[in-house]
Structure 1
Amino acid sequence: MTTFDTETRPAALGLRGWNPPLTWAGLAFLAMMIPTAWLALHDPRTFNGVNVWDKPLKFELSIAIFLLMAGWVFTRLPSGWARTGWGRYTVWTPIVASLGEMAYIAWRASRAEASHFNQSTLTAIVLYAVMGVGALALSSTALVQGIAVLRTPNTAGDNPVFRAALGWGLVLTFVLGASLGGYMSAQTSHWVGGIQSDAAGLPLFGWSTTGGDLRPPHFLGIHASQIIPVAALVIIRLFGKAAGLLTGLFVAGYIALAIAVFVQALMGLPLIAL
């Protein structure tokens, strides 16, 4: 992972240096939200108490954020890294995996059926397992990018504290996202007690407000790559020389929070009771 061209700054890979395939794929997922939102408004069918197109809409947004973030990370790396095997892996693996996952989720939604935790038939079990492998491969690309950010020369001239936060945020997206998501996918549902429906869930997110829900800790895991670097930027701006220590404390606190929310869910307690 250390063989690359060490120019003083990343060469242009597309608009403002973002990786073109990842950027266009991310924008495509954002565009997908338009017809999906139209379907949600005109299709009255429900599943688990919410519109059948609610889950595809959320996944399109989440995947778009992941892909756009991955495309932007290339601007923080030497241009030669994009041409390595690992660089190509972090481009095409998330694109292929996300397209497959989204196609399956949308297909199940069109039939008003579960895409996750569906063990109704052998086909459903196999397809759910394949989707799980795809999700693991998708999140593994964040780990590869995170290690690259931490180990390759800082050709982008980033603040060292921000760069460390970016690298560790990407690593934690895999470590927390994959581990917490893996546990959740091995269960029969994401609920732990409470009302087994999203109808009275937390606004916007749909998380249970009456019992435990394994989705909040997974959310913290998969979005660590965005939350931690943004927090580091704020800390750097506000605290200057103390930013390194405070950012390290924030990262430790973030890990502790994800674990605490996970334990809270296992205890059958909602993240927020309404």
Structure 2
Amino acid sequence: MRTVLADARRGHPGLYGTAVAMAALALVTATLAVVDQRELLGAPLWFKPLKFAIAIALYGATLAWILSRLPARAMWRAGWVITAGTVLEMVIIVGQAARGVRSHFNTDTPFDVALYSIMGAVIVVVWLATVSIALRYLREPVDDPVTASAVRLGLAIGLAGMAVGFLMSAGDAHAVGVPDGGPGMVFTGWSTTGGDLRIGHFVGMHALQVLPLLAAGLAALSGRLDEATRLRVVRIAAAGYAGLVALVTWQALRGQPLIAPDAVTLAAFAALVLGTGGALAAVLARTPRRSPAPTTV
């Protein structure tokens, strides 16, 4: 863990510093959620800033680590753009929460409209800056194909997850089939009565962490699994993960709560699990058995 954090700090001090600051902000907003019992749209007022602080902390730290795998100072401008954009986004979210009003989809006053418009423009810029990092990483020579594949696929799925946010902006709501602010799941607030696009947004974005962590776990099994097998496992897992993002987004667009899937959704999920599991089992079954190292007496 210390090595990862050191790499992240070296990769981009701005993104690393943002991650540290957001981790601290998460503690502050968690405390405020306990002290300040106000609610907004049926959810505790400070839960949204808390969730965004955690998400941006993970996002910033991951991107900083990714940049550490590129040549020194490569894509630093993109990193600083993302740093400035995410900080500005959080300033608006926290400021609006302090006022007791919504930050997203808020058109109540000209001031709220202006802030929401700024947030929309900023997130587009952040998304494009992340695209530029992904494109650079695609053409960068690598000495570890398994980790490189995990990062590339994580970036691609993460960008798709971020793009689900554009669907929310287009509809001026995250809920589908029901108004925003209805009954929701604990902490996440995801709708329990209709579809919720935040699910696909959340699951997709965290491919940035899940797939590299999978590659790291597989590296620990390098004595049992050869590089080709580990690479296939990462690719199959990424395909399954992308399928999950598509599935929960499709479910939300049909106005269906995550916890109340219909038969069609369940069948699609079963096919996804069986297909991914079967592919992984087939790859592992074909893995050549490595003989244990000889011992000497």
Residues in 1 aligned to 2:34 and 2:251: alpha-carbon distance in whole angstroms: 34
Q: CA deviation at 1:251?
A: 1.8
Q: 1:124 is aligned with what amino acid?
A: D
Q: 1:110 is aligned with what amino acid?
A: A
- Contact residue 149 and residue 235 of structure 2 kept, 8 A: no
Distance 1:15-1:270 versus aligned 2 partners, 3 A rule: closer
State the aligned residue count: 252
* Corresponding residue to 1:37 among 18, 24, 30: 30
Residues in 2 aligned to 1:34 and 1:148: alpha-carbon distance in whole angstroms: 34
Q: 1:193 is aligned with what amino acid?
A: G
- Contact residue 8 and residue 64 of structure 2 kept, 8 A: no
Residue 260 (structure 1) aligns with: 247
Residues in 2 aligned to 1:63 and 1:247: alpha-carbon distance in whole angstroms: 25
Residues in 2 aligned to 1:232 and 1:60: alpha-carbon distance in whole angstroms: 26
- Contact residue 139 and residue 177 of structure 1 kept, 8 A: no
* Corresponding residue to 2:198 among 189, 192, 215: 215
Q: Structure 2 length normalisation: TM-score?
A: 0.77
Q: 2:200 is aligned with what amino acid?
A: P
Higher gyration radius (CA): 2
- Contact residue 147 and residue 171 of structure 1 kept, 8 A: no
Residue 129 (structure 1) aligns with: 117
Can you give the 5+ residue segments of structure 1 that lack an aligned partner in the other structure?
1-12
Q: 1:59 is aligned with what amino acid?
A: F
* Corresponding residue to 2:167 among 183, 187, 208: 183
Determine if the alignment matches structure 1 residue 146 to structure 2 residue 134. Answer: yes
- Contact residue 8 and residue 61 of structure 2 kept, 8 A: no
Determine if the alignment matches structure 1 residue 250 to structure 2 residue 237. Answer: yes
SS of the counterpart of 2:171?
Answer: coil
Q: CA deviation at 1:14?
A: 7.3
Q: Structure 1 length normalisation: TM-score?
A: 0.83
Distance 1:179-1:195 versus aligned 2 partners, 3 A rule: closer
Q: CA deviation at 1:27?
A: 0.3
- Contact residue 200 and residue 249 of structure 2 kept, 8 A: yes
Determine if the alignment matches structure 1 residue 115 to structure 2 residue 103. Answer: yes
Residue 60 (structure 2) aligns with: 67
Residues in 1 aligned to 2:172 and 2:135: alpha-carbon distance in whole angstroms: 34
Residue 5 (structure 1) aligns with: none
Distance 1:249-1:131 versus aligned 2 partners, 3 A rule: same
Can you give the 5+ residue segments of structure 2 that lack an aligned partner in the other structure?
1-5, 262-297
Distance 1:152-1:196 versus aligned 2 partners, 3 A rule: closer
Residues in 1 aligned to 2:7 and 2:236: alpha-carbon distance in whole angstroms: 36
Distance 1:75-1:49 versus aligned 2 partners, 3 A rule: same
